[in-house]
Amino acid sequence: MRMRAMNLRVPHTSVPRSPHVLMRSMTKRTAAEVGVMHTAEKTAKASRKTASRIVTLAAILAGAAFGVYCMDSRAGVHRWIFPRVMEWCTDPETGAKLSIKLLKMGLAPRDCVEDDPVLRTELFGKTLTNPIGLAAGFDKQAEAIDGLFDLGFGIVEIGSVTPEPQPGNPQPRMFRLPLDGAVINRLGFNSEGHEPVRERLQARVENWVKRVLSVQQGLVSSVGTDAAVAHPTTLGEAQVFAGYPDITADLVNQAGVPQSLKQDRLLSVNLGKNKTSREDSVTDYVKGVQTLGPYADMLVVNVSSPNTPGLRRLQRRSVLEGLLRDVVVARDKLLETRKTPLPLLVKVAPDLSDSELEDVSDAVENTKVDGIIVSNTTVRRPPGLLSHEHVNETGGLSGPPVKPFALHALSVIYERSQGKIPLIGCGGITSADDALEFAKAGASAVQLYTALAYHGPGLPRRIKDDLAARLRAENTTWSQMVGTGLKKTPVYEPSAVNDVGLYPGAQDAFDRSVASVRHEIEQLRESFGLGGAPATERHAIPFTVEKGEEKYASLLEEAQAIVDDKPVYQESENPHVGVLPQRAPAVPEYLLTQAKEQGVTQGELFQEAVQEATAEPVVPRNLPSSESHTRNVTTASGLTAPTSMPADIKKAKAVLRAEADPDPHRVV
């Protein structure tokens, strides 16, 4: 049975399968494999989709993170990459226009950090969160004000703006000096004119007021009274705005809001004049005050641009004073309907001589202008410039090369004004050290522009951070640093601990002088019929008066009142003793004896004795020559002085003659 079973198995295994069986077996295996393959493909597709989604999500997150990173002005790309790309790909003017567009569209970075309290300062009675400002020339047409404030500037200055549109000088008109970090420009006051700029400023105010009103409505409708506690300023502003149908700059001013529309920030408008205007005309500046003044926190009169023919001649004192007076009158008219003050400044060039800078300071003080910006660009080309390609181009030079000139001009004006005029420093500021130098030279605030193009939009934050660190290290503030670097004339102040003693006889001499003045006044009073003086104290007066003449009566009364409370030296046996304790005698004893005999004071006696000692003795002609040196000589006042002078008088005579004739070889 076992063998049969084996025989049955062998033929079974060795017999080939039929084609039908084989096909069915292969079909079963193929279906299984296909299923596996389909499953693998599905898994692969799912994996690819998942991976794609992960990559997409990661890219989105990375892009968002990079975007957030780039929105912070402290990002390194704004310092090391973007400025270089802008420099390689654009010319200076095109790069500036592109930057303005990005700022206008809100695509520029922002300063995301609060300013350190040590940077807070006060300018023209207004608080600033920081003293770093943007100079005029960047945003000439008032297109990107809010974007510039978002970079962290405490002051943003737009312009210069001229009354009528003008294209400026032909292009190219801006040139980089990259090795010096400087720029030469001859833009020539390219401006769209007052009206387009005014319309932009008006639209900015309207949009802001509408946002405030919408915020107020949302706050009241959502959380009610809690919003009033959390946002009292916003609600207060909205209540003011809701009561006026027309939105104007005056409306914002009535609400106590700065025209910058930013808390503790200032919007400045720089006023220029058209090339077609008369050189000595002030009409352009007056129009600027009237048209743009309502939209500004401060106004700047630009008389120092080197690119407008004849403009810098307006800095002469005789011309400048008249110009500033007219502008001040126009400004004062605005103040009649304005709740907040409107400071007026003048911007000067760094190329003026010291005497011209002092004249500018005097003109500003005389006309009651509020401040000075020092300085504009320079027409000089200092030695040592490294960028030779464009160095000889016509125009104003800005950047670090102008810094020494600006600092010198600033210090001259600060010393001349004795710190009474607030100054804003401008010219070559690229770091916190530069800002501190200007502060020590007298600048209450500083402005920059050229450095922004070379160092990127994060420069204001870097300067503020470094500046705050420096100030905290020195345990001081920005306001306390202003003017500390200048040499000050020492002022004598008596010590509160150690009293300064008087020289012997000083008090007596002073009191006798008062008594003498009193007697002179009494004699004059008698001449005018106001009183009398003792006959023994009368002296000849050097002019003739009429009795009853009252021309000088009030003056005499005032003089009498001044000396009435002074001690009087009365007649006594010892004339040099008064109501005060006796002092040590200031003249020789023998003269005191003669003073007592003659009835005169020791001061009068000593003065006459010195005069006699320094003059040749008067010897009567009728005396024999043998007696001329032994007899006493009588002076005109009756004082008898011996011709044989004591040793101390001889010594005084020799000293006085030596002072009159310092020749040591002269024989006396």
Q: Is the same domain home to 357 and 466?
A: yes
251-255, 303-307, 363-367, 495-499: which is most confident:
363-367
Q: Nearest to residue 267, comparing CAs of 252, 279, 281?
A: 252
Looking at the structure, do residues 582 and 608 belong to the same domain, yes or no?
A: no
Q: How far apart are the first and last CA of the chain?
A: 175
* The pLDDT value given to residue 407: 96
For 624-645, give the DSSP string: -GGGTTTSEEE-TTS-EEESS-
Please state whether 209 falls in left (phi above 0), alpha (psi between -120 and 50) or beta: alpha
Instruction: Give the model's pLDDT for residue 663.
Output: 52
Whole-angstrom CA distances from 357 to 363, 374, 448 are: 10, 10, 22
Which of 415, 446, 481 terminates a domain? The answer is 481
The answer to whether residues 542 and 613 belong to one domain is no
CB 350 within 8 A of CB 374: yes
Total domains, the chain: 3
**Region 479-492: what's the mean pLDDT?**
73
Of 119, 96, 249, the C-alpha closest to 187 is 96
Q: Among this protein's residues, is 305 annotated catalytic? A: yes
Which of residues 221 and 346 earns the better pLDDT score? 346
**CA–CA separation, 2 vs 66, rounded Å?**
84
Query: Are both 327 and 470 inside the same structural domain?
Result: yes
What value does the mean pLDDT take over residues 378-399? 93
Q: Which domain holds residue 188?
A: 113-198+260-481
Cβ pair 569, 511 in contact under 8 A:
yes
Q: Give pLDDT tens digits for 165-174.
A: 999 999 999 9
User: Are 310 and 341 in a shared domain?
Assistant: yes
CA atoms of 177 and 399, how far apart (whole Å): 9
Residues 6 or more apart whose Cβ sits within 8 Å of residue 51: none
Are the beta carbons of 174 and 183 closer than 8 angstroms?
yes
What pLDDT, on a 0 to 100 scale, did the predictor assign at position 499?
A: 45
> Of the given ranges (46-55, 99-108, 466-475), which has the lowest mean pLDDT?
46-55
Instruction: Return the closest-CA partner of residue 116 out of 473, 454, 455.
Output: 473
Alpha-carbon distance 633 to 619, whole Å?
A: 7
Report which DSSP code applies to 224: T
For the cut 50, the answer to whether the pLDDT of residue 331 exceeds it is: yes
Q: In the listed set 586, 618, 643, which residue is the last one of a domain according to the structure?
A: 586
Q: How far apart are CA 137 and CA 98, in angstroms?
A: 15
Please tell me whether residues 601 and 554 are part of one structural domain. Answer: no
What pLDDT, on the 0 to 100 scale, is given for residue 515? 73
- Three-state DSSP class for residue 289: helix
pLDDT at 42: 74
* Same domain? 380 vs 284: yes
Length of the chain counted residue by residue: 668
Which pLDDT tens digit goes with each residue over 649-659?
A: 555 555 555 54
Please compute the mean of the pLDDT values over residues 369-378 and round it to a whole number: 97
- The string of pLDDT tens digits covering residues 267-285 is 999 999 999 998 878 999 9
Boundary residue ending a domain (565, 586, 607): 586
Residues 641 and 558 both lie in one domain? no
Higher-pLDDT residue of 620, 194 = 194
Give me the percent of the chain exceeding a pLDDT of 70: 65
Residue 7 belongs to some domain of the structure: no
Statement to judge: residues 569 and 605 lie in one domain: no
pLDDT-derived band of residue 513, with 50, 70 and 90 as boundaries?
confident
Q: What is the pLDDT of residue 553?
A: 64
Instruction: Find the DSSP H helices in 158-231.
Output: 194-222, 225-230
159 inside domain: yes
Share of the chain above pLDDT 90, in %: 49
Clarify whether residues 594 and 582 are in a common domain: no
- Based on the fold, state whether residues 623 and 545 are members of the same structural domain: no
Does the residue 499 lie in any domain? no
The answer to whether residue 174 sits within a structural domain is: yes
CA–CA gap between residue 472 and residue 273 (Å, rounded): 43
Q: What is the pLDDT of residue 563?
A: 57
Copy the structure tokens of residue 120. Answer: 């807070």
Phi-psi region of 322 (alpha: psi -120 to 50; beta: other; left: phi over 0): alpha
Mean pLDDT within 513-532: 68
**pLDDT number for residue 16:** 54
Which of these ranges, 34-43, 181-190, 435-444, 477-486, has the smallest mean pLDDT? 34-43
Least confident of 45-54, 307-316, 362-371: 45-54
52 in a structural domain? no
pLDDT score at 278: 87
Least confident of 70-79, 318-327, 414-423: 70-79
For residues 466 and 525, state if they share a domain: no
Residue with tokens 């001889």: 650
Task: Considering only residues 578 and 58, tell me which one the structure prediction assigns the higher pLDDT.
Answer: 58
DSSP string computed for 14-51: HSPPPHHHHHHHHHHHHHHHHHHHHHHHHHHHHHHHHH
Spatial CA neighbour of 199 closest among 246, 149, 249: 249
Determine the pLDDT at residue 653: 52
Q: Which distant-in-sequence residues (6+ apart) come within 8 Å of 204 by Cβ?
A: 142, 145, 146, 261
What pLDDT is stored for residue 39 in this prediction? 76
The pLDDT of residue 310: 80
pLDDT grade for 312, boundaries at 50, 70 and 90: confident
Give the pLDDT of residue 562: 63
Q: What is the pLDDT of residue 492?
A: 41
pLDDT in tens, 224-271: 444 444 445 555 555 556 556 567 777 788 788 899 999 999 999 999
Quote the mean pLDDT of the chain: 78
More confident residue, 546 or 262: 262
Query: Model confidence at 539, in pLDDT bands (50, 70, 90)?
Result: very low
Question: In the predicted model, is pLDDT for residue 450 greater than 50?
Answer: yes
pLDDT of 561 strictly over 70? no
Domain-embedded: residue 469: yes
Encode burial over 646-662: b for 16+ CB neighbours within 10 A, e otherwise.
Answer: eeebeebbeeeeeeeee
Report residue 449's pLDDT band, with 50, 70 and 90 as the boundaries. very high
Q: Of the listed 305, 411, 417, 527, which one is catalytic?
A: 305
Q: Residue 293 domain-assigned? A: yes
Identify whether 189 is part of a domain: yes
Q: What is the CATH number of the domain that holds 268?
A: 3.20.20.70
How far is residue 178's CA from residue 455's CA, in Å, rounded to a whole number?
Answer: 11
pLDDT digits (tens, 9 = 90+) for 564-619: 654 444 444 444 444 434 444 444 566 667 666 776 665 666 566 656 655 555 44
The helix/strand/coil state of 269 is: strand
